[in-house]
C-alpha cells in the first residue's frame, strides 16, 4: 500500500498545518511542518512560548486533528490518541484524588487489560521505582513537590510501554535546581528504556543537553520548523563540561540565531540574549 514504506521514517510529519478560528478569519498557528524522526532518536523542538508547540504535540498525541497534512507513526496515520504514544503534559495532569500508585495503575490497567491483577501491580511498582518514587507510592499528588509530580507523570507515560514518548515542556514549571535533577533523570530513563523521544521546550540549553537533534520552531503565527541541528556532543554530557565546549556554543548560536531571525517582531523573550557562559546550566536565560 505504501511503496515508500521501506524508507519511511519512524515518525513522519508531512506538510502539517493547523489553524484556529472560523473560515475567513482563520489564523494559522502552524504552517508546513515537516519532520522525520528515526527510532530511538531524542529530538528537541525549541521555540517561543505561544508559538504553537503545544498544538504540535497535541497533534502528535492525536488530541487534535491536523488541518492539511499527515502524521505517521511507524507507517500508521495518526488520527486519534493511541497507546503507542506516551504523553507527559506541561502541568503534570495527575488526578488529585488518586495516589502515585493509583495514577499510574489507571494507565496500566487500561492498556494491559488482559494481564492478571498481580502482574499489573508489579508492573506499576516497577515504574514507580524507575523514577525513584517508591517511598511516595501511596502519597497523593498534593503531598508531592513539583518535581516529584512530574516524575509520576513521566512514569505514567512510560508505564504503558509506548513506542514514542512525547513531552510538552515537562520541566518548565519547575525551579532551576529541580529542573537540572529531572533533566538528568530523563536522560537516565531514556538511555535505559531506549525510547524515541520528542521533547518540546523553551529552553535551548535543555534541548542541547538532552537531545540528539534540536529543531527550532519559529514564532507564530504561521510558525514553522527550522533546520535540524545535530547535537554531536558525546554522552554522558556533563552540564559543566559542555558549557565550555565550543561545539555547544556553536549549536547554541545556531539555534538562537534562527529563532531571532525567524520573525520580524522584536520580542525580547528569554531566548533572546545569547549569553556566552552560564553556570549553573539549569537556570533558564
Binding site for another protein (CB under 8 A): 61, 63, 81-83, 85, 87, 89, 91-93, 95-97, 106-107, 110-111, 140, 142, 160
User: How many angstroms separate the CA atoms of 17 and 218, rounded?
Assistant: 14
Cis preceding linkage at 236, omega within 30: yes
Residue 169 DSSP class: S
- Rank residues 168 and 212 by Cβ distance to another protein and give the closer one: 168
CB of 177 to another protein, least distance (A): 25
Instruction: Count CB neighbours of 269 within 10 A.
Output: 16
Q: Which one, 87 or 198, has the nearer CB to another protein?
A: 87
Closer to another protein by Cβ: residue 96 or 227:
96
Cβ at position 102, least distance to another protein in Å:
9
Instruction: In whole angstroms, give the CA distance from residue 244 to residue 211.
Output: 18
- d(C-alpha 115, C-alpha 176), whole Å: 40
Q: At what angle do helices 146-159 and 100-111 cross, to 10 degrees?
A: 20
Rounded least distance, CB 155 to another protein, Å: 14
CB nearer to another protein: give 99 or 201: 99
Within 8 A by CB and 6+ apart from 221, the residues are 27, 28, 29
CB of 110 to another protein, least distance (A): 5
Long-range pairs of 50-53 with CB within 8 A, sequence gap ≥ 24: 50/219, 50/220, 51/217, 51/218, 51/219, 51/220, 51/223, 52/18, 52/217, 52/220, 52/223, 53/168, 53/169, 53/200, 53/202, 53/217
* Minimum CB–partner distance for residue 159 and another protein (Å): 10
Smallest gap from Cβ 11 to another protein, in A, equals 17
**Least distance (Å) between residue 156 CB and another protein:** 8
CB of 23 to another protein, least distance (A): 20
Nearest residue (CB) to another protein, 142 versus 277: 142
Nearer to another protein, 37 or 153 (CB): 153
| 3-class SS letters over 12-72 | EEEEEEEEECCCCCCEEEEEEEEEEECCCCEEEEEECCCCCHHHHHHHHHCCCCCCCCEEE
Residue with Cβ nearer another protein (115 or 181): 115
Single out the residue of 135, 168, 143, 164 nearest to residue 153, CA to CA: 168
Q: Which is nearer to another protein, 170 or 207 (CB)?
A: 170
- The number of beta carbons lying within 10 Å of the beta carbon of residue 134 is 13
Amino acid at each position: 500500500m505504501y511503496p515508500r514504506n521501506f524508507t519511511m521514517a519512524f515518525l513522519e510529519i508531512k506538510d502539517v498545518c493547523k489553524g484556529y478560528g472560523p473560515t475567513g478569519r482563520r489564523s494559522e498557528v502552524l504552517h508546513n511542518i515537516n519532520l522525520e524522526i528515526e527510532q530511538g532518536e531524542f529530538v528537541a523542538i525549541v521555540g517561543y512560548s505561544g508559538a504553537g508547540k503545544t498544538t504540535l504535540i497535541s497533534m502528535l498525541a492525536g488530541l487534535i486533528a491536523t488541518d492539511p497534512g499527515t502524521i505517521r507513526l511507524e507507517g500508521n496515520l495518526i488520527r486519534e490518541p493511541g497507546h503507542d504514544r506516551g504523553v507527559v503534559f506541561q502541568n503534570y495532569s495527575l488526578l488529585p484524588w488518586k495516589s502515585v500508585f493509583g495514577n499510574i495503575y489507571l494507565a496500566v490497567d487500561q492498556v494491559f487489560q488482559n494481564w492478571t491483577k498481580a502482574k499489573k501491580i508489579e508492573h506499576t511498582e516497577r515504574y514507580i521505582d524507575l523514577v525513584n518514587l517508591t517511598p511516595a507510592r501511596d502519597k497523593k499528588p498534593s503531598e508531592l513537590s513539583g518535581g516529584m509530580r512530574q516524575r509520576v507523570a513521566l512514569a505514567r507515560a512510560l508505564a504503558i510501554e509506548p513506542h514514542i514518548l512525547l513531552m510538552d515542556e515537562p520541566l518548565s514549571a519547575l525551579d532551576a535546581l529541580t529542573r537540572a535533577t529531572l533533566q538528568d533523570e530523563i536522560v537516565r530513563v531514556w538511555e535505559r528504556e531506549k525510547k524515541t523521544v520528542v521533547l518540546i521546550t523553551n529552553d535551548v540549553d535543555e534541548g542541547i543537553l538532552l537531545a540528539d537533534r534540536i529543531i527550532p520552531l519559529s514564532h507564530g503565527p504561521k510558525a514553522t520548523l527550522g533546520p535540524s541541528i545535530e547535537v554531536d556532543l558525546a554522552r554522558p554530557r556533563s552540564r559543566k563540561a559542555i558549557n565550555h565546549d565550543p561545539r555547544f556554543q556553536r549549536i547554541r548560536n545556531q539555534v538562537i540565531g534562527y529563532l531571532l531571525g525567524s520573525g520580524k517582531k522584536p520580542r525580547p523573550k528569554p531566548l533572546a540574549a545569547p549569553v556566552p557562559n552560564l553556570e549553573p546550566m539549569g537556570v533558564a536565560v
